[in-house]
Amino acid sequence: MAEYRADSAELKELAPMLKAGDRILLSGTVYTARDAAHKRITELINKGEALPFDLNGACIYYAGPTPTPPGLAIGSCGPTTSSRMDTYAPMFLDKGLAAMVGKGPRSKEVVDAIVRNKAVYLCAIGGAGALAAKCITSCEVIAFEDLGCESVKRLNFSDFPLIVAIDCEGGNILK
């Protein structure tokens, strides 16, 4: 197992080097989106309308942060169960999504799309949302504000600790 320090903008290029079980400290721009936001983004794609962010090369964190306490960039921000996004993930990956961050196993269709698109699935530690928030330096709602904690947010990660759960060759620590 290797350890990496990477910027989110480099994930597409870095993915072929990453192997299941590798550890990564991720910095840079990451977007939150859960199932309600995924549904709306899919509707925008199907209508040919503009998306809240460019999926090509992006990293999505499956999280719904709690309200931000005074003096902090974000509230508790732990991962949610990734399988809830499995219906949408293959389309997002086919549109260029570089990485997904969440917790738990993924369907065969998602694993196949990860391999097909040379992407990566990264796992964050569940139950450690308050600690994870310490690695997030900014948070801005950029779409679907009416969804509250499930709105799409642009986060800035600083050395956010992750484990490569599924690599671009189908290696999978969750089997």
Residues noted as catalytic: 38
End-to-end CA distance of the chain: 17
Q: How far apart are CA 131 and CA 146, in angstroms?
A: 27
**How many CA atoms, within 13 angstroms, populate the side-chain half-sphere of residue 86?**
14
Q: How far apart are CA 13 and CA 152, in angstroms?
A: 25
> Counting beta carbons within 10 angstroms of the beta carbon of residue 167, is it exposed (0 to 12), middle (13 to 18) or buried (19 or more)?
buried
Token digits of residue 39 = 């549904």
Q: How far apart are CA 160 and CA 10, in angstroms?
A: 15
Q: How far apart are CA 166 and CA 53, in angstroms?
A: 24
